Chains A and B, each alone.
Chain A
Amino acid sequence: MIKVGEKAPDFSLPNHKGEQVSLSDFRGRKVMLAFYPSDFSPVCSDQLSIYQEVKPDLDEAGLEVVGVSIDHSWAHRAFRKELNLDFTLLADFHPKGQVAELYGAYLPDYGTSNRSLVLVDPEGVVGWVYESPTSLEIPGANLLFDALEATDKA
């Protein structure tokens, strides 16, 4: 995994509409990259639903959550609709998992990213990271607030 204090590698990936979104587009704001294995899997569905539930609080606290998985834009579009998600999902589809690999979050044996969170601060530096011990363990939304608190103090 990428380490706290490292410069977050910039990237550009298509969102659910196929529009290119770059990490640098979020410069000046805190962004939480949420790498997750795959759209529609039960655990990923629970994880992203919970983040959606606390989105108003995250908005107020100034944290933008951006989901990243190896799924295609079309899958993201359907997944957002299914779960009523309104945050950005990016398609690390081709070349597969390239961005996850940049952040040390790609699992080549599984062909997906692991379940991990990377907070990028407004200057584009990694401020906090978390990697789930197994892909079945969901990083709860409490961690998003912990990350904010930790980086506010820093």
Chain B
Amino acid sequence: MRGDGRELILYLDLACPHCAAIWAQLEGRPLRLVFRHFPVASKHPRAPALHAAAEAAALQGSEEVFWALVDSIYADQGRVDDPHLWERAKALGLDVERFDRDRRSTAPAERVRRDFQGGIRAGVASTPAAFLDGAPVAVDLASGLAL
């Protein structure tokens, strides 16, 4: 969770450009953000690796490092190959070797899968999907979240 205010649960795909656009619009809003992993691999083959990387960052850092990596990916979705992830991890002060090991391990993948399955059960069918105080919020890509 990050921030204070009304709770906004977001189901996001780190490789989804629409999610990046919405992410930028949320900056500075008085909301408590809850990030739920929702990588749609068929559409964005790189997404599972990015979500595992975010979880791997959290494993050796704090929750802040998780958010920092998410911010970093959404700020530049064009550089998400392995060397770019190593660079990002290094910039966040992480042990890059451990980061690389962790992101390929089963725990991050399981965490991501749990979130994804929760999203499916909640009826999430595309990203970004949002729930404000538990109620679904319409996401209009032109005007942003209808908060």
Contacts and interface: CB of A to CB of B under 8 A. Distances in A.
A84 interface: yes
B125 A46 contact: yes
A68 to B, nearest CB: 18
A151 interface: no
A52 to B, nearest CB: 4
Interface majority SS on B: helix, strand, loop or mixed? Answer: loop
A85 interface: yes
A47 B124 CA distance: 10
Interface string B32-69: 00000000111101000000000000000000000000
Given A53-B40, A84-B42, A142-B121, A46 B126 contact: yes
B120 A49 contact: no
A54 B42 CA distance: 10
Interface of A: 43, 45-47, 49-50, 52-54, 83-85, 138-143, 145
Given A53-B120, A84-B42, A143-B123, 11 more contacts: A43-B126, A45-B43, A46-B40, A46-B125, A47-B125, A50-B120, A50-B125, A53-B42, A84-B45, A140-B123, A145-B120
